[in-house]
Chains A and B, each alone.
Chain A
Amino acid sequence: MPIEVNGKTYETDEEGYLTNIQEWETGVADVMSKEDDLELTDEHWAIIKFLREYYEEYQIAPAVRVLTKAVGKKMGKDKGNSKYLYGLFPYGPAKQACRYAGLPKPTGCV
């Protein structure tokens, strides 16, 4: 189902992930999070930005375990744990945050 962001239409797959990751803009995350009744804070944006950078470098959306470790390494142990990340993204930090970031569903997620 396509989503509307600032008058522009973005194609998504059946699970709501953007079809073309190059097309992403921050408005995509705003629209998606509104649908989930989630208000994005700077802490959410930090993870979304981190995922975009991770994808840019490794061409892959990391599994949740790997994301947790990578966040811990880059942003500190207080953030690199499931409690913190699930607190931000209750539907699963990898799945939900990757969707907001315009990335594909993480490899290995079902």
Chain B
Amino acid sequence: MSETIKKFLYLNRKAPYGTIYAWESLEVVLIGAAFDQDVRLMFIDDGVYQLTTGQDTTGIGMKNFSPTYRTLGDYEVKNIYVDKDSLAARGLTPDDLVRIPWEDWETEEEIENIVEVVDTARVSELMEESDVIFSF
């Protein structure tokens, strides 16, 4: 195991379909989560659409991978942030977003929903304190 735990921040800025970025980012996160790092996700700009509920991809012939975000808690991702202004600019509210539960299997500590809507100041702060930022 790595001695230094680095803080990884994955910035998701693009709509879920039309480009491969959203899916690629999710795959990298799921793979990276196995390496005991502090993994955080941030959804900003059109990236906020990735977390919306009720996605239907039948018309575009793509796999609807939105249910997979709900497993992030199982992959020990504990922090998921959504930019408040990006949501508002698209007429979305936190109620339009998927809820992602998290549970510590040893202590049975439970968090009902780890998706947190944050303001611009907090977005900057989170970027500032990260060791590594991946932008998708």
- In the complex, which residues of chain A have a beta carbon less than 8 angstroms from the beta carbon of B71? 58, 60, 62, 66
Tell yes or no: A20 within 8 A of B by CB: no
Chain B residues with CB under 8 Å of A69's CB are 74, 105
Interface residues of A (CB under 8 A from B): 57-60, 62-63, 65-66, 69-70, 72-73, 107-108
The residue that B30 contacts in the complex, of A57, A60, A70, A73, with Cβ under 8 A, is A60
Count of B interface residues, CB-CB < 8 Å: 16
Kindly identify, within residues 61 to 86 of chain B, every residue whose CB is under 8 Å from any CB belonging to chain A.
63-65, 67-68, 70-71, 74-75
Assembly CA distance A66 to B105 (angstroms): 11
Q: CB distance B74 to A62 under 8 Å?
A: yes
Instruction: Please determine whether A72 and B30 come into contact, CB atoms closer than 8 angstroms.
Output: no
User: How far apart sit A39 and B105, CA to CA, in the bound complex (Å)?
Assistant: 31
| Bound CA span A69–B106, Å | 10
Please determine whether B34 and A72 come into contact, CB atoms closer than 8 angstroms.
no
- In the assembly, what is the distance between CA of A59 and CA of B55, in Å? 13
User: Nearest Cβ distance between residue B78 and chain A, in whole angstroms?
Assistant: 14
Q: Check B56 for interface membership: any CB of A closer than 8 A.
A: no
Residue of B with least CB distance to A54? B71
Classify the interface of chain B: helix, strand, loop or mixed. helix
CB distance from A98 to the nearest CB of B (A): 14
B119 within 8 A of A: no
* Nearest CB of B to A52, in Å: 14
Q: Is the CB of A107 within 8 A of B105?
A: no
Cα separation A34 to B99 with both chains bound (whole Å): 41
Neighbouring A residues of B68 by C-beta, 8 Å: 58-60
Cβ-closest chain B residue relative to A65: B34
Contact call A59/B74, Cβ cutoff below 8 A: no
Q: Could you show 19 A-B contacts with beta carbons less than 8 Å apart?
A: A58-B71, A59-B63, A59-B64, A59-B65, A60-B30, A60-B65, A60-B71, A63-B34, A63-B75, A66-B74, A69-B105, A70-B74, A72-B105, A73-B103, A107-B27, A107-B31, A108-B30, A108-B33, A108-B34
A70 to B71, alpha carbons, bound, how many Å?
10
A65 contacts which chain B residues (CB < 8 A)? Answer: 34
Closest B residue, CB atoms, query A107: B30
Nearest residue, chain B, Cβ from A64: B34
